[in-house]
């Protein structure tokens, strides 16, 4: 299979990016180093190339009804200019993907995970049967950059209208930046303040160069996938394929706030209603892990007899907190804060305890 690239590939190479294959794309895992990049985002600002993400546009008379049937959250009743985070589920409640749904005056835009573009496109078209809608996969035409950090807004001061800089969290607007029309969205995956920019991929070179020119005032840094993962994990944000997938449902993953069981029928509703009524058997929790070792994806959670009763989904050494942290599915009875657990990989065991999520609580998002 051919490895895909984003419009910023040569910029990554010139910036010294270490390139790896990720979700079918050649992407930078780091530039100056994961720790340095992590700290840049927590203290100043960094830019992520997220052009590998997919974008589907939905138009038509039934667009709102279709999107509300496709996903678990409430999107059709959102304000124009609002982005909504939501899972998209199979009839059995398993998560097909987690995505952002943007509500425009004349359409919706669904932003999906790169590894799931083909599967999501097939699923969305299957659900669309019976709805008067037109779906268009515009993933190849859109470039996306995420500018994240407590000083991110300083970069755009004087370049976009003040109203754009005053956007609330998960709100967006249209701007013309460096001669390029774009969607300017106050969203992100780090917990810090910042903006995600969506624009025509043909303008990628100009936008990248102008962005770093404007970002000199805050020492803007390019950030790779490595720091993206440590940043999101400090916030306990789920990563599809690790923490959530088609074998997990939103309620056990701690995403119940995104599931509107009082809205009309949607894909997975009956299964999720039944799961709630029966009581959850497991829950995704945050763990603080003792010792110098990091518990990685796939480690077992074991009980007093040594039997596996759960598993670690994500783990890292937190650069900001100076602690080892992890997300794991544990039996529902062991999900209370302070509960101790044993983690195991081969002959190695580590002690851990449940702690509140997010792990990091001082992020600057608005």
Q: Give CA–CA dist 52/288, Å, rounded.
A: 32
Strands 221-222 and 46-49: parallel
Percent of the chain with pLDDT over 90: 99
pLDDT digits (tens, 9 = 90+) for 257-290: 999 999 999 999 999 999 999 999 999 999 999 9
- How confident is residue 1, by pLDDT bands cut at 50, 70 and 90? low
Instruction: Compute CA distances 175 → 23, 137, 164, 276, whole Å.
Output: 30, 23, 8, 43
The Cα 174–Cα 167 span in angstroms is 11
| DSSP notation for 139-187 | GGGEEEEEEESTTHHHHHBTTB-HHHHTPPTTBEEEEEETTEEEEEE--
Please tell me the predicted confidence (pLDDT) of residue 365.
86
User: If you average pLDDT over every residue of the chain, what do you get?
Assistant: 97
Return d(Cα 335, Cα 355) in angstroms, integer.
9
Q: Is the pLDDT of residue 363 over 70?
A: yes
- Mean local confidence (pLDDT), 26-50: 98
State how far the Cα of 155 lies from the Cα of 44, in Å rounded to an integer: 10
pLDDT tens digit string along 202-226? 999 999 999 999 999 999 999 999 9
Q: What is the pLDDT of residues 70-87, one digit of tens each?
A: 999 999 999 999 999 999
Stretch 243-267: mean pLDDT: 98
Band (pLDDT 50/70/90 cuts) for residue 366 is low
Give the Cα separation of 316 and 327 in Å (integer). Answer: 9
Q: What is the DSSP string of 13-74?
A: HHTT-EEEEETTEEEEEESS-HHHHHHHHHHS-EEEE-TTSEEEEEESTTHHHHHHHHBSS-
Is residue 250 predicted with pLDDT exceeding 80?
yes
Q: 173-211 pLDDT, tens per residue?
A: 999 999 999 999 999 999 999 999 999 999 999 999 999
| Residues 8-34 pLDDT 10s | 999 999 999 999 999 999 999 999 999
Task: Report the C-alpha gap between 154 and 149 in whole angstroms.
Answer: 10
pLDDT at 343 over 80: yes
Closest alpha carbon to 126 in 167, 182, 66: 66
- Domains of the chain, earliest start first: 9-51+140-233 (3.30.1360.120), 281-358 (2.40.30.110)
20 neighbors 29 (Cβ within 8 angstroms) = yes
Q: Please work out, in degrees rounded to the nearest 5, the angle formed at the alpha carbon of residue 90 by the alpha carbons of 68 and 249.
A: 95
Residue 250 token pair: 């939103």
Contact indicator for 54, 114 with CB cutoff of 8 Å: yes
* Alpha carbon distance 246, 268 (integer Å): 11
pLDDT band at 156 (very low <50, low <70, confident <90, very high): very high
Contact, 65 vs 131, CB < 8 A?
yes
Q: How many CB atoms lie within 10 A of CB 5?
A: 15
Note the pLDDT of residue 181. 98
Rg of the chain over all Cα atoms, to the nearest angstrom:
21
> DSSP labels for 232-281?
HHHTT---BTTTB-TTS-TTTTT-GGG--TTSSP-TTHHHHHHHHHH--S
Distance CA 64, CA 107 (A): 9
DSSP state of 2: P
Question: pLDDT above 70 covers what percent of the chain?
Answer: 99
Per-residue model confidence (pLDDT) at position 245: 98
Residues 234 and 312: their CA atoms lie apart, in Å, by 15
**DSSP character at residue 100:** E
Q: Look at residue 351 and tell me whether its pLDDT is greater than 80.
A: yes
């Amino acid at each position: 299979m051919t490895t895909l690239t984003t419009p910023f590939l040569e910029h990554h190479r010139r910036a010294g990016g270490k390139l790896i294959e990720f979700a079918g794309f050649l992407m930078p895992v780091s530039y100056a180093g994961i720790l340095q990049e992590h700290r840049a985002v927590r203290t100043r600002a960094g830019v992520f190339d997220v052009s590998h993400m997919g974008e589907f546009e939905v138009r038509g008379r039934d667009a709102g009804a279709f999107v509300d049937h496709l996903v678990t959250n409430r999107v059709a009743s959102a304000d124009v200019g609002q982005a909504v985070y939501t899972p998209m589920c199979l009839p059995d409640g398993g998560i097909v993907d987690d995505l952002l749904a943007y509500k425009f005056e004349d359409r919706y835009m669904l932003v999906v995970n790169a590894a799931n573009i083909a599967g999501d496109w097939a699923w969305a078209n299957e659900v669309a049967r019976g709805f008067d809608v037109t779906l268009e996969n515009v993933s190849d035409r859109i470039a996306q950059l995420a500018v994240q950090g407590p000083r991110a807004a300083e970069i755009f001061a004087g370049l976009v209208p003040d109203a754009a800089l005053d956007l609330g969290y998960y709100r967006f607007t249209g701007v013309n930046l460096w001669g390029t029309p774009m969607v300017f969205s106050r969203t992100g995956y780090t917990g810090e303040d910042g903006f995600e920019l969506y624009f025509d991929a043909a303008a990628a070179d100009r936008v990248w160069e102008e962005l770093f020119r404007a970002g000199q005032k805050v020492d803007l840094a390019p950030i790779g996938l490595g720091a993206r993962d440590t940043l999101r994990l400090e916030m306990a944000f789920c990563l599809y394929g690790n923490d959530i997938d088609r074998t997990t449902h939103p309620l056990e993953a701690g995403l119940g706030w995104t599931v509107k069981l009082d809205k009309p029928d949607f894909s997975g509703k009956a299964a999720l209603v039944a799961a709630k009524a029966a009581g959850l058997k497991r829950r995704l929790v945050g763990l603080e892990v003792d010792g110098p070792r990091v518990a990685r994806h796939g480690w077992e959670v074991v009980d007093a007899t040594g039997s596996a009763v759960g598993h670690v989904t994500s783990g890292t050494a937190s650069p900001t907190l100076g602690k080892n942290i992890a997300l794991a599915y544990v039996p529902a009875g062991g999900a209370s804060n302070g509960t101790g657990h044993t983690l195991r990989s081969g002959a190695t065991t580590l002690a851990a305890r449940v702690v509140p999520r997010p792990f990091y609580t001082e992020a600057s998002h608005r």
